[in-house]
Amino acid sequence: MKLKKQVTVCGAAIFCVAVFSLYLMLDRVQHDPTRHQSGGNFPRDCQFALGGKGQSPDLQMLAVYSLLPFDNQDGGVWKQGFDITYEPNEWDAEPLQVFVVPHSHNDPGWIKTFDKYYYDQTQHILNSMVLKMQEDPRRRFIWSEISFFSKWWDNISAQKRAAVRRLVGNGQLEMVTGGWVMPDEANSHYFAMIDQLIEGHQWLEKNIGVTPRSGWAVDPFGYSSTMPYLLKRSNLTGMLIQRVHYAIKKHFAATQNLEFMWRQTWDPDASTDIFCHMMPFYSYDVPHTCGPDPKICCQFDFKRLPGGRINCPWKVPPRAITDANVAERAQLLLDQYRKKSKLYRSKVLLVPLGDDFRYDKPQEWDAQFLNYQRIFDFLNSRPDLHVQAQFGTLSDYFDALYKKMGIVPGMRPPGFPVLTGDFFSYADREDHYWTGYYTSRPFYKSLDRVLEAHLRGAEILYSLALAHARRAGADGRYPLSDYSLLSNARRNLGLFQHHDAITGTAKEAVAVDYGVRLLHSLTNLKRIIINAAHYLVLGDRDAYRHDPAAPFLVADDTRPNQDSLPERTVVKLDTSPRLLVVFNPLEQERLSVVPVLVDSPHVHVLSEEGQPLPSQLSAHWGSATDMVPDVYQVSVLARLPALGLRVLQLHKSFNGHTTLKSSVRLYLHGRDLPVRKQEAIPVHVFPATTDDFCLENQHLQACFSGRSGLLQSIRRAGEEREQRVSSEFLVYGTRTSKDKSGAYLFLPDGEAKPYAPKDPPVVRVTEGPLFSEVTSYYQHVQTVVRLYNVPGVEGLSLDVSCLVDIRDHINKELALRFSTDIESDDTFFTDLNGFQIQPRRYQRKLPLQANFYPMPAMAYIQDTQSRLTLHTAQALGVSSLGSGQLEVILDRRLMQDDNRGLGQGLKDNKRTCNRFRLLLERRATANKVQDGRPISFPSLLSHITSMHLNAEALVMPVAQEKLSPPALRSFVPLSTTLPCDFHILNLRMLQAEDDSLPSAEAALILHRKGFDCSLEAKNLGFNCTTSQGKLALGSLFQGLELGSLQPTSLTLMYPLGTASNSTNIRLDPMEIATFRIRLG
């Protein structure tokens, strides 16, 4: 074997020791192991991941997948099903109860923008609704998207609003789910899913005084088990889903399992159960909802009467119902109803009646409602038919079903199955798997998470600043108007969770509209954070004056356009020190390397008390071989208080002994490229090398291929054996046949081929005391692997980023694959919405594209010895196509539509930065039995690593002023360390009567994470321990009193129990709990 050239990070060990002792003195970095040991020594908190308390479910989705043949046989009129037969006298004892549920599916952006849909269609649908529902009290309608409904509400008269409240009050109009949108469930993160649900529910409570009872999700492309948990915790009692793999629908229909109690995998006592109805057929349109034969059902979609703009593709048009034909028409429809009813366990039947943007004209209301009423009147007048048919809402259906079963809403009906697992990945026909949208338009998937992190940070800092200002009686001087910007950002983030937005499946112009909204809110959130930070860091807060024209702090970066990558702010050094305020949005203190761009290499960094801080100077590169003139990066090691603000000083100094320089080696691999250097940074240029090389810190050593610059192996400190972790780029093509990949579908032309750029890469190795990194420049991707040389969490994983630009590709998808010796067989694990982990199995019986799954936050593979986790800062598609492999699709450029209604390919690719952390852990107490169970959790280290990746510290320079800046002091909001497994999901000010202002109350949302202790956790440098889920909230916020504490349902619609005087709370693992609090 080739000898590896060992290169230590610091060059010389003595140098290393010097640096370390320097900053151990300076910044109390040392984590006292006796005080802070958080290894696997909390036996009670470790029992949870072992599970095993609850009874096993009747339907476990991983097992269902293993069972099914996926043979796609022709089922006759119901193409993907089977022939349904019944005996005519089956309903003699118990008549069939039919609820026809009129609905209109309104996408908040898809082919048109949100506003265009509103003006062209949605406002007319809602206006006709008010008019037409009042004509007959038997009429019913359901609505789900509050984003549209609230816009319409703002534009209607008081009389119309009163009419709407009457229609809701008397049960004619039902608000279903009640979220801001009907969110995508694959790429959305649980923070944003909850936030858009709260936004919708708070709007409904305030404006209509109603709380949703049933969930309606007809259009998301596959379903996550996170959603039933969130709906259940919001006190909904039933839910409906539609886009599920056709083979699963067929299997569930054949076994009468289309209705079930959906339970979380970790749930020991059925407290997460929610009743779920799965629609049986291909689509939610009228031809596929009355029964198994679309040719017949289409004849009962009275919008398609001859002479209209749409017709029935099955060539038999609907006929208006008259006295002469009602008997024959009603019998034909009843036959479909009875057949559909045979797929379910009860004698109550749900028949949706609607489609996209339906009921936008009064004529359509008349055509549907009058003709159906004639059919109902006929059916109900004939006792020999044993049927009772009527219009109903979704809850009318669920209520009738519960009543028939003799149970109260929310209980499990006798004999109905319990299901655990999720419904990814979705195929609607043949091998058309909807797994492309897990990656489509990754630029916006990334921007979504940046906005989310800023929203959470802004919410918390605004709440704290306002509470402190109110306590000091200074809220008159605080910019309360920031609240409306905050509210707007919630709504823009919420809008983007829509299942055609974050999915990347809208038209190009619509994607731009979303992008503009996201960027607008990102800019506003940075302003809110700056205003709050300004108030909180002032030594003398009485001196606070808000000047909107001259912000006290400068944003850390700017984005000129909605599709730009961020441009970092360069701090101009002066004879007087420049101050920085660093915000840590995590609820744990962190020791982080904070990067700052400056205009001079002569810089040293001090704490607010004037103590020098360890820092590393490196170049700022504009390209592979060009240093940007007069811009340098100084990276500071700083301890950042939890949810707090740390003040740092930058000094221009010509005796730069405190700032340690990094050195650079540049490998050109035979390419004749000019190198632009700066004298302050030593650069060694090598025309070529084939030697492999390594970087190491106190925790691990990472080795790289000299030729490709890509990672080859990782060795953990104290271990003899290195673990092969080799990375490579691959390219998927698409099929040559008629069906090709598009925004939704992934239809590859076979296995991926190695990425073969025309030139070898330029490889740049930067080494320094605080971090070292390897950058490889390829034609379409620039990758950086960074190793932090610091104690604690940052140094335990590799920071990996890929800057991707495939704008010259044609029908190609770029993938990054890691190959290891881990014996993972066919099993891998992906997260659902950053909330929970779902085990996956590579199914050989299914095509390659069926084995891809969403990865919003992480994926891992493991064997009895090791676990390798890929953490991600943006949602992308992931799979493990072979034992020991993990691969992620970075971007896709596709030149054609994939026939799902979009009418475009994906050609608007941007330069996109995908960010990851690669974490290799040793498993201490693994066993095969435990690994066989369909439940898994990340380790505490893994959770914290994910948080570090997703909630970066924000570095805000104090604006340059002629006058000397006021005295600043760091802000430390928490008086105690939160337990390691607690996450403050949000601290969100609630709105006052005037919805542009905050009330005195806030929502505190806490999540206790479930974690696996079997991963070794020696010397991790956490400052926290766990506490069996107990937390004293009363004394948590330093300098603030907790005025009241009321536990509520997730979206604050229902109080849970009485508000007690005790401020001590307890959460079970995995639970999310909301509290209505007053801080001040």
Backbone phi, then psi, for 69, in 5-degree steps? -80, -20
Q: What is the DSSP letter of 118?
A: I
Cα 398 to chain centroid distance, Å, stands at: 30
If we measure between CA atoms, which residue out of 268, 290, 209 comes closest to residue 51? Answer: 268
Contact partners, residue 651, CB within 8 Å, separation at least 6: 573, 577, 603, 604, 605, 606
SS3 of residue 821 by DSSP: coil
- Asked if 842 contacts 881 with a C-beta cutoff of 8 angstroms, the reply is yes
- The radius of gyration computed from the CA coordinates of the chain, to the nearest angstrom, equals 30
Output the CA–CA distances (angstroms, integers) from residue 742 to 193, 418, 629, 901, in the order listed. Answer: 26, 36, 42, 11
Cα(113)–Cα(116) distance, rounded to whole angstroms? 5
String of DSSP letters for 242-310:
----HHHHHHHHHTT-SEEEE--TT-SSSTT-EEEEE--SS-SSGGGTSSS-HHHHGGG-GGGSTTSS-
Q: From start to end of 923-960, where are the E strands?
A: 954-957
Cα(992)–Cα(206) distance, rounded to whole angstroms? 10
Both tokens of residue 850? 């069926």
Taking 3-state DSSP, the helix, strand and coil percentages for the chain, each rounded to the nearest 5, stand at 25, 30, 45
Helix (H) or strand (E) holding 685: strand 683-686
- Ramachandran sector of residue 331 (left: φ over 0; alpha: ψ -120 to 50; beta: rest): alpha
Cα(651)–Cα(574) distance, rounded to whole angstroms? 8
Contact partners, residue 324, CB within 8 Å, separation at least 6: none
Backbone phi, then psi, for 398, in 5-degree steps? -60, -40
Cα(272)–Cα(250) distance, rounded to whole angstroms? 26
Cα(357)–Cα(687) distance, rounded to whole angstroms? 62
SS3 of residue 654 by DSSP: coil
If we measure between CA atoms, which residue out of 515, 461, 450, 452 comes closest to residue 483? Answer: 461
- Asked if 783 contacts 804 with a C-beta cutoff of 8 angstroms, the reply is no
Assess whether 219 carries a catalytic annotation. Answer: yes
Output the CA–CA distances (angstroms, integers) from residue 13 to 18, 20, 612, 768, 930, in the order listed. Answer: 9, 11, 22, 12, 43
Quickly tell me which residue has 């390829």 as its tokens.
778
Both tokens of residue 176? 């279903």
Cα(857)–Cα(868) distance, rounded to whole angstroms? 14
Beta partners for residue 154, in sequence order: none
Question: Which is catalytic among the residues 45, 184, 195, 219?
Answer: 219
Cα(592)–Cα(949) distance, rounded to whole angstroms? 11
Burial zone of 671 (CB within 10 Å; 0-12 exposed, 13-18 middle, 19+ buried): middle
Number of residues written out for the chain: 1080
Cα(815)–Cα(870) distance, rounded to whole angstroms? 14
CB atoms within 10 A of CB 511: 26
Catalytic residues: 219
